[in-house]
Amino acid sequence: GAVVSQHPSWVICKSGTSVKIECRSLDFQATTMFWYRQFPKQSLMLMATSNEGSKATYEQGVEKDKFLINHASLTLSTLTVTSAHPEDSSFYICSAREWGTENIQYFGAGTRLSVL
Amino acid sequence: EDKVVQSPLSLVVHEGDTVTLNCSYEVTNFRSLLWYKQEKKAPTFLFMLTSSGIEKKSGRLSSILDKKELFSILNITATQTGDSAVYLCAVEIGTASKLTFGTGTRLQVTL
């Protein structure tokens, strides 16, 4: 149980284009999902907290207009990197917390974004 | 500022050795401490600790939390090459359930 699927696993795009990343909880309902960014050999940095049916809460320094988050259902959250630039190249990982259980976050496999 | 510090940053051991990984923290509004194993991509959940002094065990892995001294350790006995990974410590803070991660300990187990 507690499987989180993230898609795509790898994406290459041109500078200026937008990229959407999906995060799905496959076998549980996730009222809260989290989006992280991980630079090489560094730890996970929380970008935003996504709550189903409401606006995401962004961490300090994260641009809301650049990283659009939508949590339209209890099993799906999306992160859209708008007008991507090379400095947005990174590893993005989502996690989901199951409603009514211990606050354990289960992670997706991550998406490697390369912006040319 | 909330802080989670792991040590050592990296470690190379021989198969069969026992290792201890450390995690110390300074946070406001502590709720729990979690350990994850990250091999190539997704961190996989190992343990969640909320109470001091109660050891959690799963096979060759065990972990304990000291809320007075603000640290946790993760022990791996009889290490195997499959234990090679980055081990992440995270502290859950506040009612929003946000996790603050340490930088991780990179463990390499050699034959």
Going by pLDDT thresholds of 50, 70 and 90, the confidence category of residue B1 is confident
Distant-in-sequence, close-in-space partners of B19: CB < 8 Å, separation ≥ 6: B11, B13, B75, B76, B79, B107
Query: Helical H runs in chain A?
Result: none
Tokens representing B22 are: 């450390």
For chain A, the 3-state helix, strand and coil shares in percent, each to the nearest 5, are 5, 55, 40
Out of A42, A93, A97, the one facing B97 most closely (by C-beta) is A97
pLDDT profile of chain A (116 residues), mean per 10: 90 96 92 90 89 88 94 91 95 87 86 95
What is the predicted pLDDT for the residue at A106?
92
What is the predicted pLDDT for the residue at A54?
83
CA distance B14 to chain A (A): 23
The β-bridge relationship of strands A76-81 and A90-98 is unpaired
B9-38 confidence digits (pLDDT tens)? 999 999 999 999 999 999 988 999 999 999
Chain A interface, best mutation among B91, B99, B103, by max A CB count within 10 A: B99
What is the predicted pLDDT for the residue at A23?
96
What is the predicted pLDDT for the residue at A41?
78
Give the separation between CA A71 and CA A73, rounded to whole angstroms. Answer: 6
Out of B32, B98, B101, the one facing A43 most closely (by C-beta) is B101
What is the predicted pLDDT for the residue at A1?
62
